[in-house]
Amino acid sequence: MLPDNHYDAIVIGGGPAGLTAGIYLSRARVKTLILSEGTPGGQMILTHEIANYPGVEKISGYQLANIMKNQAKSFGCDIRSNVSIKEMQLEGEVKEVKLSDGKTYTADAVILAPGGRSRTLNATGETSYKGKGISYCATCDGDFFTGKEIVVVGGGNSALEEAVSLTKYATKVTIVHQFDHFQAFEYAVEEAKANPKIQFMLESVITEFYGNENLGGVVIQNLRTNESVRFQTDGVFIFIGYTPNTEFLKGVVELNKWGEIVVNADLNTSLPGVYAAGDCIAKKFRQVTTAVADGTVAALAASNFVHQLKSKKIHEPVNELPCP
């Protein structure tokens, strides 16, 4: 008889990848526990409106997260939110997860879905206007700025490529970059410079975001002259890098030089029975839909692993005691 704290599968992370994994695993009659560091939904709950999720015209990130959470629970998935992981042992047949509150859970399979986060400027007002004029995703929010003037922050490939992409919607795009040169490939720089809708403010940084209910403008400081100006804008897109939430996984599973989890086609990590999904893995595109797809693949692979493990145990020979 297995103890109550043992699950067939444990999912670390309650974002769209983790919640989707919980839905698929629980529906497949795999006893599943989701451990979420914060409120289930991950970065999705910070999104004011999602308009490109297939089959749904418009929905807030919070609403979509709540639907996913309730769907997982309806299939029998256990969810613990606002937890902190103290220690993990993921090698061997039985994986163990210890929480800071003293609780310990074990499982046959684990799916790592801790997500990631866009790097922020840490400027005054940035937190207040996230989702209210400040965005970190052109694909998600570009359409909301049709016919408006916006700012793009950054000087790498992502910043310049997304700036060009955003000119499909915005009437003017101003790129603010702290250096006098770009880190992007030459083709990206040339394309941005050739676009008549794009202007540049180099050797400059945003020090403050201001407005009322929504963002109204930014304060831009020229690093060469130290002069600051108030710059009116309808929106700011920040592309200065992305950080996966994998600090606690160093030395546990294989990570690449950017801290992303290395996985194969089945989203298996370097450890048997340990999978990864969502924004924490090495991949190019990060959307709610790609996270959901990852959660599906990881759950199906983990479910297959668990069922094979159970089948193996059932057919293992029983050591009988010799007759007296």
pTM for the structure as a whole: 0.78
Residues 6+ apart with CB under 8 A from 306: 8, 9, 30, 108, 109
pLDDT in tens, 112-139: 999 998 899 999 999 999 989 999 988 8
Report CA-CA distances (Å) from 281 to 85, 128, 261, 266, 278: 19, 29, 4, 12, 6
pLDDT in tens, 145-197: 999 999 999 999 889 999 999 999 999 999 999 999 999 999 999 999 999 99
Q: Note the pLDDT of residue 316.
A: 59
DSSP assignment letter at 25: H
| Confidence grade of residue 23 (pLDDT, cut at 50, 70, 90) | very high
How many other β-carbons are positioned within 10 Å of the β-carbon of residue 253?
20
| Confidence grade of residue 320 (pLDDT, cut at 50, 70, 90) | low
Cα–Cα distance between 35 and 14 in angstroms, integer?
7
Q: In the predicted model, is pLDDT for residue 2 greater than 90? A: no
Q: Do 78 and 32 form a contact (C-beta atoms < 8 A)?
A: yes
Stated as kind and residue range, the H or E segment containing 242 is strand 242-244
Token pair of 306, please?
A: 């668990």
User: Could you tell me where the beta strands, DSSP code E, fall in 30-70?
Assistant: 32-35
| Confidence grade of residue 262 (pLDDT, cut at 50, 70, 90) | very high
- Residues of 101-113 as b/e, b for ≥16 C-beta within 10 angstroms? eeeebbbbbbbbb
Out of 40-54, 88-102, 156-170, 305-319, pick the least confident.
305-319
Stated as kind and residue range, the H or E segment containing 68 is helix 61-74
pLDDT in tens, 193-233: 999 999 999 999 999 999 999 999 999 999 999 999 999 99
Token pair of 264, please?
A: 């194969």
Burial of 292: CB neighbours in 10 Å, binned 0-12, 13-18, 19+: buried
Q: Note the pLDDT of residue 44.
A: 86
Q: In the predicted model, is pLDDT for residue 267 greater than 70? A: yes
Cα–Cα distance between 53 and 68 in angstroms, integer?
13
Q: How many helices (H) and strands (E) does the chain have?
A: 6, 17
Domains of the chain: 6-118+242-314 (3.50.50.60), 134-238 (3.50.50.60)
